[in-house]
Structure 1
């Protein structure tokens, strides 16, 4: 029996994920010979903690083990959050990325700026100008492709102010990485 489709896996786990207050952002299945990887992508309004990922991974694994969809074929399960290269497609993606640098392509132009407020099918993009940053409204229906850009330096304070700040629960652009404490390590 082959590995089930991405749609079948999504149907099996979506309720479980939503019960945890998270959104299913996608399911990806990759096959390499007899080995398969099932990747379940989740996100939430305030981000997703490592503890939530660990708990959800165990719960999704148990759910998939309950059904005969996989038969006896081995697979690796990965429960993770979408990467920064995920296209912004839904309003919640834009809302959660507020304050981040983005490249937006419409049918007529490409705009680079910082994601601002979202309102009634439109998003503000804070763009740099010769006389300082300005806010430009872009209709979401006009967006062909939009991807958050990776940043290594802190953003311009005025740009960030114009965006309305970083979305709650999300890391500030250009912020130092958060140290992860490990039990049993000595300094």
Structure 2
């Protein structure tokens, strides 16, 4: 049974990433002209710092040099953390987004922008912002109702009444 290069890379690199206290989010091998690029995306509940990514990059480079998984020829290795606008696809992504404003694309159609308050095995407890001076409302959605989700960037975030109630409880 043959395995793809990405599967071989994941098997080789996941122990290194885990030992660094990080989660391996993505492996991407691409080609630009004659040059190949290996892009590794890592994250953790606390985030992936620049120092952690640099240290992991050195460890990964050493491990790759010991094997032939990248084949012959040069390649560029890039180790980094996911961008702020990456899609939320795993349970841990939603847990890390607690307190953040998220735009949901719902399976039933339509979009919903709401703040993630709680995350459990079945779904999310949300705070839907009020419109035109109205108070925010609570809403619950199950994971199977979500077709896609991304964190919204907030430059001037203000705590809302529902959040203040959660913090006081």
Same fold (TM > 0.5): yes
Q: Report the TM-score, using the length of structure 1 for normalisation.
A: 0.79
Write the mapping of 1:75-114 to structure 2, written as runs, cut at 5 A: 75-108=75-108, 109-114=110-115
1:70-109 Cα distance to aligned partner (Å, 9 max, x none): 2331111111011122111111000001111111111223
Q: Which residue of 2 aligns with 1:141?
A: 144
Q: Which has the higher contact order (CA 8 A, sep 6+)?
A: 1
Q: Which residue of 1 aligns with 2:124?
A: 123
Distance across 2 between alignment mates of 1:44 and 1:26: 13
Shift in alpha-carbon separation, 1:162–1:7, aligned structure 2, 3 A:
farther
SS at match of 2:8: helix
Say what the alpha-carbon RMSD is for the aligned residues: 1.8
Contact kept? 1:114, 1:163, Cα under 8 Å? no
Q: Which residue of 2 aligns with 1:51?
A: 51
Write the mapping of 1:5-24 to structure 2, written as runs, cut at 5 A: 5-24=5-24
Distance across 2 between alignment mates of 1:30 and 1:46: 29
Q: Report the TM-score, using the length of structure 2 for normalisation.
A: 0.87
Contact kept? 1:114, 1:159, Cα under 8 Å? no
Contact kept? 1:101, 1:112, Cα under 8 Å? yes
Distance across 2 between alignment mates of 1:129 and 1:63: 52
Distance across 2 between alignment mates of 1:142 and 1:117: 16
Contact kept? 2:127, 2:138, Cα under 8 Å? yes
2:157 to 154, 159, 169: 154
Count of aligned residue pairs for this structure pair? 161
Shift in alpha-carbon separation, 1:72–1:143, aligned structure 2, 3 A:
same
Deviation at 1:159, TM superposition (A): 5.2
Structure 1 gaps of 5+ residues are 165-187
